[in-house]
Structure 1
Amino acid sequence: MDFKGSDTIPGPRTEDHLPHSAETAVKIVIVGGFGVGKTTMVGSVSEIRPLTTEETMTQAGIGVDDNYGSESKTATTVAMDFGRISITDKLVLYLFGTPGQERFWFLWNGLFEGALGAVVLVDTRRLEVSFDVMGRLEECGVPFVVAVNTFPDAPRYPVEELRTALDLTPEIPIMECDVRRRASSRDVLMTLTRFLHSLAMSRALI
């Protein structure tokens, strides 16, 4: 899912430097399997022109990359996507989208380093891919929320059924989203920031 059909931010995108009012900058990673919408999410929500490392897919990926549900996809991220969004005047999120193909997962450890939290994007046609993704985050100690990208041809399930299928503990937020829409992607990031705040508060009480 590329972001050519995504919402665009009215007017020109801001310059790359931080707003003068910003006091806190936080690194967030957007993770998930191949073709779940990571590049689209970064592109739809970033207030600066997103940096992408997409390359044209070739015959070499046939039989190597699992492109089920993304057969029309012609380009793929090979290193990372990067964007930025100001949640408030004082809080800025730096967004790093990870490559989805398993052969590029060796890059994840570097991208996870210093990350305060993560968004796991899920495609209901390929739920099994999400287990490895969430396992890697848990190994690295990165808290995450789960966002189910609502592809038009993907089956829809009640959120609590998906929670059970993904074996998520009750405190981990899970929600549906349309990553092509800026408001929807921003809602996911807002949910993540609230979740991270609640974790920080609970740890402070221990």
Structure 2
Amino acid sequence: MGASADNGLKIVVVGGFGVGKTTLVRSVSEIRPLNTEETMTQAGASVDDIEQVRGKSATTVAFDFGRITLDAHNVLYLFGAPGQERFWFLWDRLFSGTLGAVVLVDTRRIDDSWYAIDRLEHHGTPFIVACNDFGGPVRASEEVRAALDLDPDIPLIDCDARDRESAKRVLITLVEHVRRQYAAAAGSLTAEVV
């Protein structure tokens, strides 16, 4: 699809360090994603806790960008945010004009998701939570929901960020969630007017 789409819809993928944000954007984008990954060095060892992400050799230093065409009029622009705390200041700017967000979670490190959820709630940005499969023990949805203190209306799904179909399901879940939220808001406005 060329530049002829009428509506560019922005989605941000956030989460802790090494949870698969770059992988999700890569797996679902119809274009070769723009990424800002750089090789991790010893200089960052004192700043980035890589204990839980052994084998990770590169990290996002600005954001990843991908695109997926929905139809002749609508395109999703995907922005993968960097996960390290030292880059969190970029998140508030990425959230500007966002349709919604995906919080990608590694259930072995649930605490790494708190900041993302806090910032999205602060901005009033609709979001879903997707638990990325790292091949370890699967935690029950109720356990993850309780650990993240999620409202019951926030979708919580499992995914494999490496798999295109799984990543598409994540985006579909987000778009459906946003649509329900806007429909509910429009319904309450109509009720107030009447």
Settle same-fold status: TM greater than 0.5: yes
Identity %: 57
CA distance in 2, matches of 1:126, 1:190: 25
Q: List structure 1 segments (4+ residues) > 3 angstroms apart after TM superposition.
A: none
Indicate whether 1:101 and 2:88 are aligned: no
CA contact (8 A) 1:50 1:82 kept: yes
How far apart are 1:131 and its partner, in Å? 1.0
- State the alpha-carbon separation in 1 of the partners of residues 6 and 51 from structure 2: 42
- Contact 1:26/1:93 (8 A) holds in 2: yes
| 1:107 positional shift | 1.0
Tell me how far apart the structure 1 counterparts of residues 84 and 92 of structure 2 sit (CA, whole Å): 14
Any idea what SS the aligned residue of 1:66 has? coil
Which is further off, 171-180 or 160-169? 160-169
Q: Displacement of 1:150 after TM fit?
A: 0.5
Q: CA shift at 1:175, angstroms?
A: 0.4
1:121 aligns with 2:104: yes
1:161 Cα deviation after fit: 1.7
Bigger helix fraction: 2
Q: Is the 8 A contact 1:87 1:190 kept in 2?
A: no
Q: CA deviation at 1:91?
A: 2.4
Equivalent of residue 23 in structure 2, options 40, 46, 68: 40
Match of 1:171 in 2: 153
Please say if 1:49 is aligned against 2:39.
Answer: no
Q: Please give the alpha-carbon distance, in whole angstroms, between the structure 1 residues aligned to 2:31 and 2:133.
A: 25
Match of 2:117 in 1: 134
Deviation at 1:35, TM superposition (A): 0.3
Return 5+ residue gaps in structure 2 as ranges: 189-194
Counterpart check, 1:148 vs 2:144: no
Q: Is the 8 A contact 1:120 1:145 kept in 2?
A: yes
Matched, 1:23 2:6: yes
Deviation at 1:199, TM superposition (A): 0.4
Matched pairs, number:
188
Superposition TM-score, scaled by structure 2 size: 0.93
Aligned counterpart in structure 2 of residue 198 of structure 1, from 156, 180, 183: 180
**Which of 67, 71, 75 is the equivalent residue of 1:92?**
75
- Paired residues of 1:26 and 1:115 also in contact (CA < 8 A): yes
Deviation for aligned residue 1:88: 3.5
Deviation at 1:24, TM superposition (A): 2.1
Given residue 101 of structure 1, which amino acid in structure 2 is its aligned partner?
Q
Does the CA contact (< 8 Å) of 1:29 and 1:118 recur in 2?
yes
Q: Does 1:181 align with 2:163?
A: yes
Query: d(CA) in 2 for partners of 1:140 and 1:192?
Result: 17
Instruction: Find the aligned partners of 1:178 and 1:88 in 2 and give their Cα distance.
Output: 25
SS in 2 for 1:116: strand
